[in-house]
Amino acid sequence: MESDEITLRIAPLLAEMDKQCMVTDHLMDKDRWRVFLTTMWSNLVMEPESLGMAEADLEDAYKVIETAAENRLGGKNALVEAFRFLTTKDGERCMEKAKLRKSHKDMLLYFASMMVDPERHKQYMQELREST
């Protein structure tokens, strides 16, 4: 799938995220946006078909989402940094404030472990497999 098509499919989600996170006409709650962002990416990875994509489209989707995240949050590697944020005290407070269900929070933290430290995640998963 072309990047332009991916952008069109993701644009309504980004627009809704922006709308939900605006505090004033010119001020966005970036922490809340990070929770939405990480949720969107996690869901897309688990079920790309929900947006009419295939697993093969995820790399291009990542690039589109990363660009949007960098534009809104600033800095490089904004998607990984959003997952890193979730593992901090401020991220924990933000997820509590958002009243995420335990399963939602667990999903985000699981994806955070993959995104922030993929080698450690692989090692951990291997240890789990070996212990069962």
Instruction: Please tell me the pTM assigned to this model.
Output: 0.88
**Residue 122 — very low, low, confident or very high, per pLDDT cuts 50/70/90?**
confident
**Average pLDDT estimate for 77-96:** 96
Phi and psi of 103, rounded to 5°? -65, -35
**Residues shown for the chain:** 132
Task: From 57, 55, 53, 68, select the one nearest 17 (Cα to Cα).
Answer: 68
Rounded Cα gap, residues 16 and 36, in angstroms: 10
**pLDDT digit string (tens) for 13-36?**
999 999 999 999 889 999 999 999
Domain coordinates of the chain in residue numbers?
3-131
**Average pLDDT estimate for 104-118:** 91
Looking at the chain, list the stretches that DSSP marks H as alpha helix, in order from N- to C-terminal side: 3-21, 30-46, 58-73, 78-86, 89-97, 102-116, 118-131
Task: From 55, 49, 34, 53, select the one nearest 115 (Cα to Cα).
Answer: 34
Tokens of 50: 């929900």
Burial 17-47 (b: 16+ CB within 10 A, else e): beeebeeeeeebebbbbbbbbbbbbbebeee
Res. 73: pLDDT tops 90: yes
3-state secondary structure of 117: coil
Tokens of 13: 């989600």
